[in-house]
Structure 1
Amino acid sequence: MKKIILIIIYSFFWKNFLKFFIGLKYVNEKTLKNKKQFILIANHNSHMDTMAIMSAIPSRYIHKVHPIAARDFFGGSLFKKILMRYLVNATLIQRDRDDPNNDPIDSMDKMLKKSRSLILFPEGSRGTPGV
């Protein structure tokens, strides 16, 4: 069921919305067509970045792709947690390293070992376009 919801959200709604109303162009979209697992690393200039990238993922893999998001920001309320888990398919990680037993890399490594793909925004927050 989650796979169907993600396909509807990204392959139909967001893809068409971003393409026709925002003017987003998908360049080299077929590059991911036969990739079963990957790590995408992108700049973070807008709240729409995740939606734009997820809408370029082939439908058959969309449920196995997880944007990485900050738990302290996106996990602050039950509403945000549900939104991130079921509508964005995000994996929430703890950014601080107060607990040596809770390394964010371990969370991502577990996802990769389950043959999942990741989307990372190393800037953490939205940066300045072109910089």
Structure 2
Amino acid sequence: MKLLRLVFFALVIRPVLLILLGVNLRGREKLPDHGPAVLAANHNSHLDTLTLIALFPLRDLPRIRPVAAMDYFLKNRFLAWFATNIIGILPIDRQGGAKEGANPLQACEDALARGDILILFPEGSRGEPEHLSGFKKGIAHLARGCPEVPVIPIFMHGLGRALPKGSFILVPFNCDIAVGDALFGEEDIAAFMARYEAKMKRLASELHLPVWD
């Protein structure tokens, strides 16, 4: 399976995303060269995850784990096999918090303890193309539970047009990605969320994009 994942990203994803779409990356030096770490990005397209993974050397594939909803990606046998073995998702139960005493972020914390790099989308799900939805507080709770782990804000623009939600046809729009300085968790959830949103607004302005309200 490791070989299949390597071939998929080397011969399919990298040529399509980094050449056909023409990714313009700012702040590459701010990407982590080792784990544990969390990449916290905006989310408009299934291409978001693939593009973020493709930014790293192929040797790092085993330690890069996109956090994904179990109820969506494990809903049928083929999708479950592809998502877990080729994309390498870390499936989480979105209903886990409803169980008494359960920690819905336990799988994420365990992965970080192993030194993995997580990809997480604080909006929760894909929104309308190039439109930012509100951030959910899960990222702040994860950061508070793992205060020594850097949370790296990433703003992406263009992938929502290249492959918007509900579309299966790839359109060659250029993609801009800006990587910000790392944040670290703190006890005050609201304060962390305010700092994260401010970082994302700054990254959007660096790409000369309108800042949302």
TM-score norm. by structure 2 comes to 0.55
Distance 1:88 1:115, change over 3 A: same
Q: Are the counterparts in 2 of residues 65 and 89 from structure 1 also a CA contact under 8 Å?
A: yes
What is the deviation of 1:72?
1.0
What is the deviation of 1:79?
1.3
Q: Are the counterparts in 2 of residues 46 and 126 from structure 1 also a CA contact under 8 Å?
A: yes
What amino acid sits opposite 2:82 in the alignment? L
- Name the residue aligned to 1:104: 104
What is the deviation of 1:130?
4.5
CA distance in 1, matches of 2:55, 2:36: 14
Q: Are the counterparts in 2 of residues 70 and 92 from structure 1 also a CA contact under 8 Å?
A: yes
55-64 vs 66-75, greater mean Cα deviation = 55-64
- Name the residue aligned to 1:13: 12
CA distance in 2, matches of 1:88, 1:126: 17
Alignment gaps of 5+ in structure 1: none
Tell me which of the two structures has the higher relative contact order, counting C-alpha pairs closer than 8 angstroms and 6 or more residues apart: 1
80-89 vs 5-14, greater mean Cα deviation = 5-14
CA distance in 2, matches of 1:98, 1:78: 26
Give the RMSD, CA atoms, in angstroms.
2.0
**1:22-101, aligned counterparts within 5 Å?**
22-32=21-31, 34-96=33-95, 97-101=97-101
> What is the total number of aligned residue pairs between the two structures?
130
Deviations along 1:1-56, one digit per CA (max 9) or x if unpaired, are 51x33332224421211122222223333543633432100111111101100101
Q: Are the counterparts in 1 of residues 34 and 117 from structure 2 also a CA contact under 8 Å?
A: no
Runs of 4+ in 1 over 6 A off after TM superposition: none
Does residue 125 of structure 1 match 2:149? Answer: no
What amino acid sits opposite 2:61 in the alignment? I
- Report which of the two structures shows the higher radius of gyration computed on alpha carbons: 2
Q: Are the counterparts in 2 of residues 75 and 81 from structure 1 also a CA contact under 8 Å?
A: yes
- Name the residue aligned to 2:189: none
What is the deviation of 1:101?
4.3
What amino acid sits opposite 1:90 in the alignment? I
Q: Are the counterparts in 2 of residues 71 and 94 from structure 1 also a CA contact under 8 Å?
A: yes
Q: Are the counterparts in 2 of residues 42 and 120 from structure 1 also a CA contact under 8 Å?
A: yes
